[in-house]
Each structure stands twice: as C-alpha cells, then as structure tokens.
Chain A
Amino acid sequence: MKALILVGGFGTRLRPLTLTMPKPLVEFANKPMILHQIEALAEAGVTDIVLAVNYRPEVMVSILQKYEDQYNVKITFSVETEPLGTAGPLALARDILGKDDSPFFVLNSDVICDFPFQKLKAFHQAHGNEGTIVVTKVEEPSKYGVIVNKPESSMIDRFVEKPVEFVGNKINAGIYIFNPAILDRIELKPTSIEQETFPLMAADNQLHSFTLEGFWMDVGQPKDFLTGTCLYLSNVNKVNPGALANPNSGYVHGGNVLVDPTAKIGKDCRIGPNVVIGPGVVIGDGVRLQRCVLLEGSSVKDFAWIKNSIVGWHSTIGRWARLEGTSVLGDYVTVKDEVYINGGSILPHKSISSNITEPQIIM
C-alpha cells in the first residue's frame, strides 16, 4: 500500500520551534511528529510513503533515511515548485500513488490521533466506492466544516462550512483513503480537495465517512500541541500504561508523565499530569512541572515551576523561574534565575533576564 502525507510549508504556526527544525521532525511525545504517522502506516501494511512538501527538504531527507530501514518503507519527497493546495500534491505524486490498483492513504502532517489505518482500510474496501474521509466529533461544530451523511448511511450527502444552525458535529479529521481512480479527477494545478474535489465525489455517491473513535487533534500550533499532548498521554495510559512513568515513583503527580530513559530528575520534584520530558533533559531538585513539554537536552534548575509551556531543545530554565500561559521557548534559550514568563514566545539563543508578564514575542 501507499500513502501521501501533506507536509506543506515552513510550519509558521509552530514557530519558534519550526525556526530550528522542520515541523515533521519536531518531537511530539518524544518522537518526531511524522514518525507517529510513519509507524502507524507501516503497521497497516504501507510500503511507499510520499511526503508532499513545498520547500527544499534536505534536512529531512538524511534524517528520514534511517526510518526507511527501521520500518521497511520507501519514503519519497514530492517537492512542489508552486503551492498546489491540498489536492494538487496528489496529481504531482501520480506516478507512485497510481502505480497499482490498491487504495492509498492521504493524511495531514499536523494531525495526531490513534491512527486507525487497518480498520479504515477494511471499511473502505467494504463499501467499495472511491473515497473515505475520516471524521471526528467536536463540541463546537460551528467553527469547522461539518460533514452530513445520507440518512442511515455512511455515504456523505453534503459539506456545510461553519454552520450557523446545528446540522451535525462530525468534521473532517484530515485523514483519507482513496482508490487510484480519484487521480482522474485532479489536475496538476492548485486545487483544494475539500472545496473542489470532495463535493463532486459526494454528488457521484463515491464518498463515505468513517468515524474516529479515539482522540484527535490538529497540533500545528503551540496551544493545540499542548492539548494534543494531554490527549495523547491519556491514550497511552489507556493502551500502554507501562510506557508512562511509574505513578509510584515518588515524583509523579496526577499521572500521565512520559520520561525519556536518559533524562535525570532531582529530588523532591512534583511532576504531572501531562508532562513530556525528552532525552538528556536534566531536572533539578524541588521542580514543579505540569502540562508542559521539555524538549531534548533542556534543563530545569532547582525550584522552578512550569505549566502550559514548551521548553525548546537545550534551553535552560533558572532556579525559581516560573513559566506559564503557553510560553514557547526556541532552542538554546536561557531563562535566568527567578524570572517570570507568562505567554512569551522566545526565539532561539535568547537570554531572558527580566520578567515577561504579558504574552509577547521576544525576537
């Protein structure tokens, strides 16, 4: 089987992290974001993966090579010379996606969920039509495009963009499976698959919806990255609790803490819930962490307090510092002792020695 991952551009919504690392390589729960997807695809029997990007992906090529061997997949980069929207990349990768009759997956690189590729494939093959859209239930459908099915059927009837009145609460989760026949519908030009291709497929009774049971999150921006981390960790707790830090380890508070084995944690800390501690991270004594992500090589000195924040690679948080309010630190940022940061987005290699009390970007 084959798959296309829509990676897109520079990941500006996830800056300052994406100033250092292409978005697919930013670690989500201690694993490059795209690896969550590659793993799940490989498990579902995918052997050919196309990454659709619209920038030069040199950095990624070398890093992804080792995963080709590890997961026994072939990864190809499909580089757009002009932005092709969400459908155009399918046309650009026609050679791979259409090389045989088997269906192929398409997914958005920002999406994190309990990828149900096996079930999706079985569902798709059972209805026998051209495409299946994975949908997820949301509480506030008025913010999204809602998908309405035909009565008593999985077949999609219509799409309603930002409905004013309640028509349903299922939205496009950004994960699809298509037969190669869809390629005949798409030209090699900028096209939106959601707005141009899908309505026509629905009109031809060729499009079904598959409802996601577990969690789902678009983690393309810091606030959602943290929310997605919480959802992901809860799911790990459900399906593989042994992967999380032992709740009886003394420092775990409220559960759902993921710690890389190479990280070091000091005495009298209180960590959790919803904390991810990356490789080589050093945590001092008396540190309090909750709902935060500490990326590889960062260090948190004694008595610091961090909540709702992302600490970038090799950054240092000083003693008695306090971080909160969706603060995001790039790599090699130094926060001096006793400094308070509320909602600071701090670009790489900055040293912060005075308080940032209101959300702002530090260039």
Chain B
Amino acid sequence: MHPKAIILVGGPSRGTRFRPLSLNVPKPLFPVAGKPIISHHIAALSKIEDLKEILLIGFFEDSVFSQFLQDAAREYPNLHIRYLREYQSLGTAGGLYHFRDEILRGNPEQVFVLHADVACDFPLIQMKKAHEGHRGLCTILGTKVPREVANNFGCLVAKPDTNEVLHYVEKPESFISDLISCGVYLFDCAIFDEIRKSLENKKGNVETDIYGREVFQDGNKLRLEQDLLRPLAQARKLFVYETKSFWRQIKTAGSAVPVNGLYLEQLLSTNPEKLAKNTPGGPEIVGAVYIHPTAQIDPKAKLGPNVSIGPNVFVGKGVRIRDSIILDNVDIKQNACILHAIVGWNSKVGCWSRVEGTLPAAHNSTAVTKNGLKVQSVTILGKEVTVKDEIVIRNCIVLPHKDLKQSCENEIVM
C-alpha cells in the first residue's frame, strides 16, 4: 500500500523565535535556497515511489497555505497535498491522532512524519529500506552532534549493531548520548493503536515529575517525543537510522542563513544548473548562489558563497553579498556590503552601507540576548527597513518599517 507523509507545520504561536521574519510570513513558508522551507521536505518526499499524498497539519489559518498549495500542485502533479487545520494546538502527536481517519484513508501501511522546522537532506528512501529491515513500529532519523550541545535535543541511546533505541530523553540535563533525533520519523500505521493507548493512559491520570510532584496532564495534548517515543523505546519498538549528512534546526530567524547555505551546497552537488554561474560580463559568483530570474544584478557585483536573492531584487554596481538571504523587492544601492544578514522584503540598503552579522556557531542556543546584551548573531532587517547611505548595521535585529539613519551595533531596533 502507498505510504503517506505528514509535515507538522505548527502555528503562529510556534514561530515567535523566528521573529521578526515571522511577523510577515509563516515560518514554514520562509524561503531558503530560493523556495519555502517546507518545499524542501516536499521535494524529498516526491522521490519516494508510490507516495501520493502529503498532509500538512498545523493551526495556521487555512488561507496561509492556499497559494503555496496551488504552486505545489503545479510543480508536483502526481502528489496530492492538503492542509489540515487543527481546531486548537493539540501537541505534536495530538494532531496526528485527531486526523487519524484522514491519514488512514486508503489503508497506508506507513506514514512519514516530518517536522517543518528542520533542514536536512532527508534520506527518506534509505530510512524506508532500514525500516523494512527491522520489526519496530518506528524508525527515527538520528544524527550525531557535538557532545556539549547534545542536551538541547532529544537524545537517543541505541545499540550500535541493531540500531535499536534503548533509551530516549527529551533535552536531558546531563549528558546521555551525542546521537539525537532529527525530527523525521517513519511509522507503521499500527502506531495509531499505540497513540490511543497513550491517550487512554493519560486521561484523568496523574503523573509524577522527576521531583516526585504530581502533574496533571491536559488529556488532549499529546507530545510526539515525550508521550510517544519514550514508551516506544521502552517497548523496544523504536529504531534509529543515522544520517551522516547535514542537519540543522530552524528556530531563530538567524538560523535561516546557515540552513540556506546547507541547501545551496546540496543544490551545487545535485542540481548545479539551478544556481548562478560565472559568465563573461556577469557578476562575480563565489560558491553556491541562488538568484531568482526576475532579480537584476549589476555585472560589477560579487555574490557568494551562501547567498539567495529573491524575486525583483535590485543589486547595484560594486555590491558585495556573502552568507545572506535577500528577500523579495529589496533594493541594494551601489558599493554596499552585506555579510551574514537577512534583508527583509522591500527593504533598501544605501550606497557604501554595511549590513553585517556574525555567523552563529553550529547548533548553538536560541537566546537572542544574554545578561541583557544582544548575542552576536546574524543581522536581520525586517520588512521595509531603510538603511541610509554609508552607515554600518552590525549584529542587529531590526523590526519592520524602520528607517535607520545612523550606525548601530548589537541592538534590537524596535
């Protein structure tokens, strides 16, 4: 039977860390490497044989995804992609269970579940092969991260020879393992029986937390990681497939820059024809650069590596852009320099101005300020921000519709 796929897109309340960009676009639709974040999920799913249906589950307004769904239908005529809106935030597994009839219609044997806020090369075909080689109910995509950051994630302890997961802890306080969950799962559809069991266990139940205090749970909210994976691990029905390729979370707005870079690198090795090339009389291109066909780039500009240029962007003479995302209709005047930054829709950057951020260390925390000071990170200009000529904006987050008339540094500009 055909497998199905679900992308958990969340809702408006889950994109707060993605501000100021999520003030203007829902996070799953923010463009990286030239297309919305979840397009990369769909592109990977489209390569799975027999997969015909993808369901987006979340609690955004229906209208949010209508344009995206139309575009996706045109690009993937063989895929049926729909948006299912939860009537309230049900928790990551609660939404799955709520829409179980939709998911199980047509009797699929397996269902992929992908979090929208991860970026990786989605080795789904290999996962499926591994899944069919063991007797578990779920295969989880795992990856190794540096020891010191492992406890920011769901940590897995697995038997090295069988990949059987022995232990699963969400964000442990102490070190458990450097193998973590990537937020990409393949379930047998029998999982819905397990979810029902979990829900029944929880309803009206009193749990105790690690301090022995009684905790009353909301019977409808069911968290995929804590409420489902942990019991599955205990029942030895959870297996891991470890990817050695790239993986990143997309939490803060700034994390879109490294994610953009990873997807561009992937394109460079798989579909280099989609990227910009050096041509005689054209702009200087370094590494992986995506330029939307409607953007105008002066031949004396230098772009890349890790740059995405959106539709109708104008890049003037002598402009330098590196490790940045330039969104739709941005106007960058001559000789400006943009490094480690995201320039929001319709923004203008004056001549000889410098918009510069700091590339965050891999997998670091999502805090924007520390001890009251802004952490150095990617500089983000919100929608319709104007940067005057010859000033420097360093390590700043600028909310939409601001006119910056003087230099600023390490600030959140309200």
Contact = CB atoms under 8 A, between A and B. Distances in A.
Partners in one complex: yes
Interface of A: 268, 270, 285-286, 288, 302-303, 305, 319-320, 322, 324, 338, 340, 355, 357
B390 A305 contact: yes
B131 interface: no
Given A286-B317, A286-B335, A303-B337, A338 B322 contact: yes
A357 B322 contact: no
Interface residues of B, number: 19
A319 B320 CA distance: 9
B394 A357 contact: yes
Contacts of B322: 338
A303 B335 contact: yes
B250 interface: no
Interface in B297-341: 300, 302, 317-320, 322, 334-335, 337, 339
A268 B317 contact: yes
A337 B334 CA distance: 17
Contacts of B118: none
Nearest to B410: A357
By secondary structure, the A interface counts as: loop
A302 B318 contact: yes
Given A286-B334, A286-B335, A305 B352 contact: yes
B140 interface: no
A141 B274 CA distance: 68
A322 B302 CA distance: 16
Contacts of A355: 356
17 contacts: A268-B318, A285-B318, A286-B318, A288-B335, A288-B390, A303-B318, A303-B337, A303-B352, A305-B335, A305-B352, A320-B320, A322-B392, A338-B339, A340-B354, A340-B356, A340-B392, A340-B394
A288 B337 CA distance: 13
Interface string B177-209: 000000000000000000000000000000000
B317 A338 contact: no
B394 A322 contact: no
Given A305-B352, A305-B354, A324-B392, 5 more contacts: A268-B334, A288-B335, A288-B390, A303-B352, A357-B394
Contacts of B390: 288, 305
Contacts of A340: 354, 356, 392, 394
A153 to B, nearest CB: 49
A322 B354 contact: yes
Contacts of B356: 340, 355
A338 B318 contact: no
For A285, A303, A355, which residue has the most chain B Cβ atoms within 10 angstroms?
A303
A171 B351 CA distance: 43
Contacts of A305: 335, 352, 354, 390
Interface in B369-414: 390, 392, 394, 409
Contacts of A286: 300, 317-318, 334-335
A340 B394 CA distance: 10
B304 to A, nearest CB: 12
Interface in B272-308: 300, 302
A320 B351 CA distance: 12
A285 B317 CA distance: 10
A44 to B, nearest CB: 43
Contacts of A285: 300, 318
A315 B354 CA distance: 22
A357 B334 CA distance: 24
Contacts of B318: 268, 285-286, 302-303
A266 to B, nearest CB: 10
